[in-house]
Each structure stands twice: as C-alpha cells, then as structure tokens.
Amino acid sequence: MSAPERSSGSAGERGPSVGPTQQHRAGDAPGSARQQDRTPARRAPLRARSEPFVLGVDLDGVCGDFTLAFRAVAAEMLGRPEHELPLERSWDFREWGLADGDYERIHVRAVIDKRILRSLPVIDGAADALWRMSDAGIWIRIITHRLYVNWSHAVAITDTVDWLDSARIPYRDLCFLGAKPEVEADAYIDDAPHNIEALRAQGNDVIVFDQPYNRDLPGPRARSWAEVEEIVYALAAREHPVQTQLPGIDAGADRLPRRRDADAESP
Ligand SMILES: [Mg+2]
C-alpha cells in the first residue's frame, strides 16, 4: 500500500511550473537561471544575492487537510463509520486497517470522482500567514506532489489551481512534482517524512508541519501557521532584512475579492 505523495509511480518526474498567477505581481522567478542546473547544491547565501527569500510550501497536510477529506471518501467506500478511521494516523494509514489496494482505489475515487482536491478544508491560519509573509517580501513557491497517478494529472492540476484561488492562498509560482522534492527554495515547509528527510539530506532548511505521522522527526517544527511565520522570519533574517506588518494593519487574505468588489461598484 502506498501513502499520498509517496509513490514513485507518477509519470510526472518533474511537472510543469505554472505562474505567477493573476493574483500576484509579475516578475522573474528568483533563481530561474539556476532552475536549469539541477545540482543538489544549496542556493547561494542571500547576502550575495539581491533575490528574495523563497519559501517552498507544500499543500496536503500543510495548507489543506487531506486526511479529513480523504477519510470521508474512505468511510463511504468501505462502509465504515468515520470514527473507525482515526485522524491520528500513521503515514501508511495502518490504523485504518486497509487491505492491499484499498488506498489506491480510495485515492482514485477521492480525486477523480469526488474531486476532493478542489474542496479540501483549509488549515487554520494558512492563507493569512502566507499573505503576511508575502507582504514581508517572502517569495511563496507552492510545491505539490499531487501527480500521484498517471491519468489524473489534468484533474489534480485544475482542482489545485481552483482550490488555491478559493482558499485565497497567495503564490508566485506553483510547482507540480512527482518524486523529486526539491525546487530551489531557501527553506521548505512540509509534512511528509520522506520529503523532509530527502530535502534535509540535500542540506536544505525544512520546517516540519506537525502531523501525527511526522512526530519522530527533529525540528524545527511548527504546530500552527503562526509558528511557521516565526520560524520563517528567523530563517530569512539570518541573511536578509524582513519588514513584517505592524499589528492592526493586516490587509487580510480576502483583499483581492474586496478590491474586485470595490472596483465593480465604483462608477
Ligand atoms: Mg504534504
């Protein structure tokens, strides 16, 4: 049985990079020339660059509650009450007692038929924290490992983009990956143990987003998006000044729809 993001069976060795989106200011992606060079060396110290600090942000289990949405589909397919499928689960779902092939069948139903990727519950505080970090000059690079099965790429990509818009999550570029976890960021936030370990093995700074299945990993660890912000600002400030917002003037994650509404109402 496989777990999400873990399979190497994806056709997407390295998926398309989409963006920046209509939500965001145009600009060349930092390190874009370096994207041609896939050597594992870390980015040059920020002091030697004028580029912004790039934060690689995972989606499932970090910005969106994959387990919650997946459990609803699993309970329906297995004919079991949801309470028998605990949210405090291991990476391989062993607490759910799935049989061989169950995970794959449920995943297909969940992504293709139920379209859970466009309706995942947003993890508390993610959108507002990402907007604040973006306002502070952090370059938000969304990284998702959703190219999990060969024939669902179109649905996964379409639903991911729709979900990011509806969740009001800001980003400057969006990377769909298969097996390789690294996309030239200065730091990463992820929940998947194998991704965290692989990124750290390459010398990257990785914040563990706390989930039941990653608690054996060493920190830095964030149990909330407020803690993510604190850690990111500390990492970025090592090499680069960070201007955070003052309390009380947060423009909020709903700034874009508010601006559109205001523009529509103006004569
Ligand atoms: Mg994840």
pLDDT of 25: 36
Q: Is the pLDDT of residue 187 over 90?
A: yes
pTM (two decimals)? 0.77
Interatomic CA distance for residues 138 and 242, integer angstroms = 8
Residue 261 annotated in active site: no
User: pLDDT at residue 243 above 80?
Assistant: no
The H or E element that residue 258 is part of is: helix 255-265
153: pLDDT confidence band, cut at 50, 70 and 90? confident
Strands (E), the chain: 14-18, 54-58, 139-144, 173-177, 187-190, 205-209, 221-222
| Burial tier of 185 (Cβ tally within 10 Å: 0-12, 13-18, 19+) | buried
Higher pLDDT, 10 or 86: 86
> Contact 77/99 with Cβ under 8 angstroms?
no
CB 233 within 8 A of CB 242: yes
**Diameter over CA atoms, the chain:** 61
pLDDT of residue 44 exceeding 90: no
- The percent of residues above 70 in pLDDT, for the chain, comes to 72
Ligand 1 centroid – CA 258 distance (Å): 30
Q: What is the pLDDT of residue 36?
A: 39
Rounded to whole angstroms, how far apart are CA atoms 1 and 99? Answer: 8
Q: How remote is the CA of residue 11 from the centroid of ligand 1, in Å?
A: 19
Confidence (pLDDT) at 42: 53
Helix (H, G, I), strand (E, B) or coil at 58: strand
Of 58, 173, 186, 205, which residue is the catalytic one?
A: 58
Gap from CA of 58 to ligand 1 centroid (Å):
5
Distance CA 82, CA 61 (A): 19
pLDDT in tens, 223-238: 999 999 999 999 999 8
3-state DSSP assignment of residue 245 = coil
Contacts of 216 (CB under 8 A, 6+ apart): 193
Q: Does the annotation mark 205 as catalytic?
A: no
